[in-house]
Every structure is written in C-alpha cells, then in structure tokens.
Amino acid sequence: MTQIPGPLSELARNTLLVVGALFPIVNPIGSTPIFLSLTRGLSGRGRAVLARMIAVNGLILILTSIFIGTYILAFFGISLPVVQVGGGLVVISTGWALLRQPSDDGDEGDGKGKECNEADFERQAFYPLTLPLTVGPGSISVAITVGANRPEGSELRWPVIGGLVLGSVLIALSIYWSYRFAERLGRTLGDSAMNVVIRISSFILVCIGVQILWNGLSALLRTVVR
C-alpha cells in the first residue's frame, strides 16, 4: 500500500509539468478571436469539426515534440535556436497578415449564413490554424525541452509516459473546447468588440513571434561570442 502513492504522485507531477509549461504558451483562449477571424463564413458544424481537427493535430505535434523531437532535430542537424528563429519569422508573418487584414464587418452578415466548404477548412486545419497559430514554435520548443529533460532511464516507466501523454491530452482538450465555443464568444462580444480584440490579438501574436525570434537569435549570438 505504501508504494501506490509513489507512481501516482509521479504521474500527477509529469501531468502538471506539461500543462503548466504548455498551457500559457498555447493559450487557446487568447487565440480564439484569431480563430474566429480566420474561419469567418463557416457554419457552427464546420467550426466544431475544425476545432476537433486542430485539437488532434495539436496533440500529435506536442507528443511528437516531447518524445522524438530531439531525435528529429539531431537527424537533420538542426539546433533548437534555429527552430526558434525560423518559427518566429513564421509567427510574425502570420500575425502581420492578420493585423493588416481589412475589416469587413459589412460582409460578415452574409458570411454567417454561408454553407461551410469542407475542402477549404481541411486545407487550413494544419496550416495556419494548428501551426503556427495554436501550437507554434514556442510551444514546440518547450515541448522538446520537456522531453529532453526527462530523467535517464525513465523512458519505459509508465508514470512518466502516462503523465506526459495525459498532460498533452488535457492541452488538446482545452484547444477543442476553446475553439468549439468560439462562436458564442463572438456573439457575446459583438462585431465591433470582436474586431478590436482581433487587432489586439494579432499585435500580440506579432510580439510573440518577435520574442521567439529574439530567443533564438540570442542563443545563436552567445555561441558566436564564445
């Protein structure tokens, strides 16, 4: 009986490690206005299907980064700072495009009744809605770091594997529920308020991209100085 709390506490610790490290960076609640902007014209059913696809894609990206991310980077000879530099540029580009997107509130009323085109949103489910909007380079770099810092010999211990998987599943569920009910948030705030929130969120996305880019550049510059 005294041995039971050990594995369970380790399971809970690894679960909280993943959730605590990734949830503030993934921030699905903060990405909801941008998700609404990029999916304008979809029906409620279309957004529900799209939210599920993004959550599954995000889960696959997170698990891949945690368990084999370091091996993939080593295989291609890519360092983590280089991933941050490249990913930061992609995030900046996405945020800047959203920031410059013209406001079409007048057309939005026509788009709300438009039948969703599954081919269109399926093409966008991975890029840009999953990567880099939801699980971007910052999230991937943190997930790789979490996986790389696992204690030696813990690869086959079920509390470690279970905790990492459970934490990733909780992040994916938060993505699904945030995007699933994004339309309710939009109706609550109204068109004018949503337009303001979208602009602010786009600017924050640009700032996040600059921060990720600077983190990678700083690490690369430190190697040059040394």
Of 31-45, 110-124, 164-178, minimum mean pLDDT range: 110-124
Per-residue pLDDT, 99: 84
Per DSSP, the residues of 76-102 read: HT--HHHHHHHHHHHHHHHHHHHHTPP
- Gap between the Cα atoms of 180 and 60, Å rounded: 19
Of 15-19, 71-75, 115-119, minimum mean pLDDT range: 115-119
Per-residue pLDDT, 106: 42
- Indicate whether 56 pLDDT > 80: yes
Per-residue pLDDT, 5: 59
- Gap between the Cα atoms of 30 and 11, Å rounded: 28
Cβ neighbors of 48 (< 8 A, separation 6 or more) are 180
Per-residue pLDDT, 154: 56
pLDDT tier for residue 190 given thresholds of 50, 70 and 90: confident
- For the stretch 83-129, pLDDT in tens is 889 888 988 888 898 888 776 544 444 444 444 455 667 788 998 89
pLDDT tier for residue 156 given thresholds of 50, 70 and 90: low
Of residues 2 and 19, more confidence is placed in 19
- Gap between the Cα atoms of 92 and 159, Å rounded: 38
Per-residue pLDDT, 196: 84
pLDDT tier for residue 165 given thresholds of 50, 70 and 90: very high
Per-residue pLDDT, 7: 84
pLDDT tier for residue 2 given thresholds of 50, 70 and 90: very low
Among candidate residues 89, 120, 130, 126, the one with its CA nearest the CA of residue 215: 89
Neighbours of 217 (CB within 10 A): 14
Whole-number percent of the chain with pLDDT over 70:
87
Q: Are 117 and 209 in contact (CB under 8 A)?
A: no
Residue 222 has which token pair?
A: 């430190």
- Gap between the Cα atoms of 171 and 176, Å rounded: 9
Q: Write the DSSP symbol of residue 135.
A: S
pLDDT tier for residue 204 given thresholds of 50, 70 and 90: confident
- Mean pLDDT computed over 45-55: 92
- Mean pLDDT computed over 2-26: 84
- The H-or-E segment that residue 176 falls in is helix 158-180
